[in-house]
Structure 1
């Protein structure tokens, strides 16, 4: 649990840093804003599944223009994940979760693997966002785990 908690703390930190970089860049790139919104919504989708709720109400790929609304979503996600993780016992990490993906296809996956999906999915897309910022001649932001660990 210690490792997962630490990695989740990194996720909250990295989400905030990438939002700061986007705000500082002043980007109006709709695809880039759609991508950061996608990360926030995906975090929410996986949390809903972990909580035994459906996720069909969430649309993973919608246009976004308001970084303030996206930041609020990330902050709400972080608070809800903190509550979820604090209530989670080590033994529950291997419990299986039944859920359906956004297309309605059923799956069964362990809590551990769902949490790892959340952690790795966001990191992948933060890398894409940083690359796009660099291509726009904006400053990318360091979001590597080791940078977080050194704080």
Structure 2
């Protein structure tokens, strides 16, 4: 996959994350408290994994002890956090040469295990990981009587 395609997919991810969180904001928390909380937990999980992978790509510590945080941010806070995070990914990808996408990155999982992936595979992982969980969130939105935005 070339750099311009990745940038386009990341821009789509930014739009899809925002659209999903905006749909969550329209769900009445009082009538669907458990589901509303789960939606935010799933979206926060996507965000945390995005940040872990970005830190791993940069070779810096990420500071996370798990794949989610103890606290649950608001949808509004997540909208801002996702936009900043995805903008950082786009800025990073923009600086890379095509050859750098094949670079192998070694990292430590939050459970202490060791891993390695090509940089391109790491970007693909965050793209597909987010899509997977946004699908579950969309199902939850609909189960609460909300309308999940079409992602096409």
Q: TM-score range by the shorter chain?
A: 0.7 to 0.9
Stretches of 4+ aligned residues off by more than 4 angstroms: none
Aligned residues: 144
Distance 1:92 1:67 in 2: 35
For structure 2, which runs of at least 5 residues remain unmatched after alignment? none
- Relative to the length of structure 2, the TM-score reads 0.87
Cα deviations by residue, 1:55-85 (Å, 9 ceiling, x for unpaired): 3435422341522221221122022112211
Is 1:74 the counterpart of 2:82? The answer is: yes
Within a 5 Å distance, the mapping from 1:27-106 to structure 2 comes to 27=29, 28=33, 29-57=36-64, 59-62=66-69, 63-106=71-114
Is 1:125 the counterpart of 2:127? The answer is: no
Contact 1:55 1:102 in 2 (8 A): no
Cα deviations by residue, 1:76-111 (Å, 9 ceiling, x for unpaired): 202211221111111101010010111111111100
Pick which of 18-27 and 51-60 moved more. 51-60
Contact 1:45 1:58 in 2 (8 A): no
Cα deviations by residue, 1:29-55 (Å, 9 ceiling, x for unpaired): 211211111111111111111111123
Distance 2:13 2:116 in 1: 24
CA 58–43 in structure 1, closer or farther in 2 if over 3 Å, else same:
farther
| SS of the residue 1:108 aligns to | strand
- Relative to the length of structure 1, the TM-score reads 0.88
For structure 1, which runs of at least 5 residues remain unmatched after alignment? none
